[in-house]
Amino acid sequence: MKKRFEKKKVIITGGSGGIGRETAKQMLNEGAKVMITDIDKDALKEAEAEINSDDLYVYKADISDEKQVKEYAEKAKELFGHVDVFFNNAGIEGKVIPLEEYPMELFHKLIDINVKGTYYGLRYLWPLMKDKGGSVIITSSVAGLTGTPNVLPYVTSKHAIIGMMRSAALEGAQYKIRVNTINPSPVDNRMMRSLEDGFAPGQGQAAKENFEQSIPLGRYATNKEVANLALFLGSDDSEFITGTVNPVDGGMTA
């Protein structure tokens, strides 16, 4: 099989989580050099041991801290010089709470990570992509396309970064930087276990079945299915695709 990431240098945020880690594995398999960053030091260590590749670099950084983002961008420059693919993926789900009761502190934290953190990464890796161009993939969600009760901050953040993607795609075209979002439906991983428990405390399985009924293909996505889309958008197979929203959602938003 053709290796689509030969000579490509990749940065993945949230790189020790479900979607990020699977994407790192697949890109490495296809020849990339990959730096994963994450706030979770233990998960980074575990990902490093599990992936076990000389072409993998790990770096602990909190994407909501501008200084730490500058530092991981510096590290990327030192390691790679140019960056070909930036998978701007880290995010948190927050909690399932009605809007008038949602803790303000958590609202701010969520926006700091999901919106400001996504922007900081874009801003500080942009100079490393401008010279030769590349692909930025931002992880939005089906929650960026429709509303859901009781998770207003999450939904707000995932809508916001679609606007960020569209503006960046228009600015990036002159530098051959493509920018797109991926928009997964519920994915069978840690984040959904947390949300299922939030929607139906102690009855996660029932909440899951409820979600599944809203997905025409009748099940959650897998990390691998989301990674497959990230690989397509990161590779030259999608070289004329920019400024787009890409559901991987079993028909959920059809």
Does position 139 interact with ligand NAD (CB under 6 A)? The reply is yes
The DSSP secondary-structure symbol of 198 reads H
64 is an interface residue for ligand NAD by CB under 6 A: yes
Residue 89 touches ligand NAD, criterion: CB under 6 A = yes
Which one of 32, 90, 160, 233 is in contact with ligand NAD (CB under 6 A)? 90
- The backbone torsions φ and ψ at residue 23, rounded to the nearest 5 degrees and listed phi first, read -65, -40
Strand, helix or coil at 177? strand
CB atoms within 10 A of CB 116: 18
Q: Which of 11, 19, 227, 233 binds ligand NAD (CB under 6 A)?
A: 19
Binding test (CB under 6 A) with ligand NAD, winner from 34, 35, 83, 191: 191
Task: For residue 101, give the amino acid letter.
Answer: E
Count Cα atoms within 13 angstroms, Cβ side, for 179.
29
Give yes or no for residue 156 binding ligand NAD (CB under 6 A): no
Interface with ligand NAD by CB under 6 A: which range of 49-57, 122-130, 166-174, 179-187?
179-187
Active site annotation includes 154: yes
Quick check: 172 binds ligand NAD (CB under 6 A)? no
Interface residue with ligand NAD, options 94, 186, 247, 250 (CB under 6 A)? 186
Distance set, CA 97 to CA 9, 91, 199 (Å): 40, 18, 9
Q: Do residues 89 and 137 make contact, with C-beta atoms less than 8 angstroms apart? A: yes
**Rounded Cα–Cα distance for residues 136 and 134 (Å):** 7
Residue 43 has which token pair?
Answer: 């998960």
Q: Which of 57, 72, 124, 154 is catalytic?
A: 154
Measured distance CA(9)–CA(82) in Å, rounded? 7
Q: Are 81 and 128 in contact (CB under 8 A)?
A: yes
Pick 38 or 84: Cβ nearer ligand NAD: 38
Our CB check for ligand NAD shows the closer of 14 and 153 to be 14
**Binding-site ranges for ligand NAD (CB under 6 A):** 13-14, 16-20, 38-40, 43, 62-64, 89-92, 113, 117, 139, 141, 184, 186-187, 189-192
- Residues with a catalytic annotation lie at 154
